[in-house]
Structure 1
Amino acid sequence: MAPATGITLSQKTASLKVGATKQITVSADPVDASDASDVVSAAKFVSSDTGVATVAADGTITAVAVGSTTITATSGSFTATVAVTVSAA
């Protein structure tokens, strides 16, 4: 089996209401890559605007305020993003 060539997320966009949460998950691309488990376990998440939504180490997004932000997952040199839109509760 060949090593991973990238990562993918469980979704590309997310729409949440203030106070809601949603978990996104990381997969290695291809999913049966020889280093898939290492690639997935190394993934880290960041939010481009924590005033709109935060993201926990396990990929759980929490909507904080109305607006838009991007959640980026990084594993080594691989990155993937989720566009998050938060609306009023």
Structure 2
Amino acid sequence: MTLNKTALTLEVGANETLSATVEPSDAADKSVQYSSSDSTIATVTPVQGKVTGVKAGSTTITVTTVNGQTATCEVTVTEPSGG
């Protein structure tokens, strides 16, 4: 399984959706579960993979298939540049 990004930088309040590709392409169950190692830095919706920056810092988003395969994306959240 792969993610469309292995690293992501977001501003606080911004969001981006990650996309997982499950192999093989004919796998019976392609459902995945997303989780954040620190939801005080960035949250992620468990099914859709929408990552939202909460406060400045770094965290890891992990996506797991039903059969236990995992992929990760390192997320860095920065303060908004406009001030």
TM over 0.5: yes
Which digits, 9 at most, give the CA deviation of each residue in 1:6-52, with x for residues without a partner? x100110000000000000010235xx3217x22xx20000000000
- Give 2:58's aligned residue: 68
- Give 2:27's aligned residue: 35
- Identity over the aligned pairs, expressed in percent? 40
> For 1:61 and 1:34, how far apart are their aligned partners in 2?
27
**2:39 is the counterpart of 1:45:** no
> For 1:67 and 1:74, how far apart are their aligned partners in 2?
23
> For 1:29 and 1:35, how far apart are their aligned partners in 2?
7
Unmatched 5+ stretches in structure 2:
none
> For 2:51 and 2:68, how far apart are their aligned partners in 1?
22
- Give 1:54's aligned residue: 43
Structure-2-length-normalised TM-score: 0.88
Which digits, 9 at most, give the CA deviation of each residue in 1:46-77, with x for residues without a partner? 00000000000200000000000000000021
**2:79 is the counterpart of 1:88:** yes
1:4-23 equivalences under 5 Å are 7-23=1-17
- Give 1:4's aligned residue: none
Of Structure 1 and Structure 2, the greater helix share is in: 1
Unmatched 5+ stretches in structure 1:
1-6
Instruction: Tell me the number of residue pairs that the alignment of Structure 1 and Structure 2 aligns.
Output: 78
Q: Which amino acid aligns with 1:60?
A: K
Question: Which portions of structure 1, spanning 4 or more consecutive aligned residues, are displaced by more than 4 angstroms?
Answer: none
Structure-1-length-normalised TM-score: 0.82
